[in-house]
Amino acid sequence: MEDASNIPGYTYGTPEVAHSPVTLDDLAKLEQAVGLTDEDRRYLHMAGDVLEDQAEQVVDAWRAIIAKQPHLACYFLDPDGKPDEAYKAAVKRRFVRWVTDACRRPHDRSWLDYQEEIGLRHTQAKKNQTDNAGVVAPHIHLRYLLAFTAIATETIKPFLATKGHTSNDVERMHGAWCKSLMLHIALWSRPYVKDGAW
Ligand code: HEM
């Protein structure tokens, strides 16, 4: 796994990260709402071990799906209509890191704040800024962030099954991943929503 301090723009745990207005008590309620149990947390750790050396392939698989849909690929295009490869590469390093973070990071204040930061980086408040990118699209529309959750839950399963775990373990890792992903997306949606509606 790449050393976090070498990843440009990966500001996890630093004062540069946005502060999430979500309290740890709100977070506990949200975890309860997605049904995240202590057993899920153990299976998420197991998933982290399974995914660690496959994280880049996971991101490549998702990118391939995005590339085939012009209404998704457009969020990475430069003013000439070509994919901004430098931007894609920079974002990818943080994205790869996120795959294991999603499985291993404790859900504390630093984690909560970085979820707010990732949410903001999908919106016009912060998109393109971290990498100083000249990409045209200023904002990823919320509907696609939500819809892509279906892809990110379905496509992870074959990766979880590559290390010889029993089908029961694979199912449980997958269940824990799905809950974790929904939790992330719920938190990332917060900066999109008008005050009081979240
Ligand atoms: C389940 C859905 C999604 C997940 C798990 C996800 C995850 C991530 C992560 C981890 C990052 C890097 C955060 C960081 O800077 O540390 C990121 C950034 C980004 N994502 Fe997503 N994403 C999702 C949906 C989408 C969709 C649907 C699009 C558009 C097709 C998209 C486009 C981008 C772009 C353009 C960035 C870079 C934003 C910037 O300029 O900083 N994402 N995403």
Q: Do residues 189 and 198 make contact, with C-beta atoms less than 8 angstroms apart?
A: yes
- Separation of CA 43 and ligand 1 centre (Å): 24
- The pLDDT of residue 53 is 97
Residue closest via CA to ligand 1's atom 37 equals 91
Atom of ligand 1 nearest to the CA of 128: 40
Between CA 110 and CA 116, with CA 113 as vertex, the angle to 5 degrees is 155
Rounded CA-CA distance 156/163 in Å is: 13
- The pLDDT of residue 27 is 98
Rounded CA-CA distance 131/152 in Å is: 24
Q: How many CB atoms lie within 10 A of CB 32?
A: 10
- Say what the alpha-carbon torsion angle 108, 175, 187, 45 is, to the nearest 10 degrees: 30
- The pLDDT of residue 140 is 98
| Ligand 1 touching residue 186 (CB < 6 A) | no
Instruction: Per-residue pLDDT tens, the chain, 198 aa: give them.
Output: 778 889 999 999 999 999 999 999 999 999 999 999 999 999 999 999 999 999 999 999 999 999 999 999 999 999 999 999 999 999 999 999 999 999 999 999 999 999 999 999 999 999 999 999 999 999 999 999 999 999 999 999 999 999 999 999 999 999 999 999 999 999 999 999 998 999
**Which residue from 119, 143, 138 is spatially nearest to 191, judged by alpha carbons?**
119
- The pLDDT of residue 1 is 78
Residue closest via CA to ligand 1's atom 30 equals 72
- Separation of CA 163 and ligand 1 centre (Å): 27
CA 96 vs. chain centroid, Å, equals 9
Task: Supply the pTM of this predicted model.
Answer: 0.97
By three-state DSSP, how is residue 186 classified? helix
Residue closest via CA to ligand 1's atom 1 equals 149
The length of the chain is 198
Q: Residues 6 or more apart from 49 whose CB is under 8 A from it? A: 163
| Ligand 1 touching residue 76 (CB < 6 A) | yes
Task: Write out the two tokens for 6.
Answer: 């070498």
| Ligand 1 touching residue 144 (CB < 6 A) | yes
By three-state DSSP, how is residue 76 classified? helix
Atom of ligand 1 nearest to the CA of 130: 41
Rounded CA-CA distance 61/99 in Å is: 13
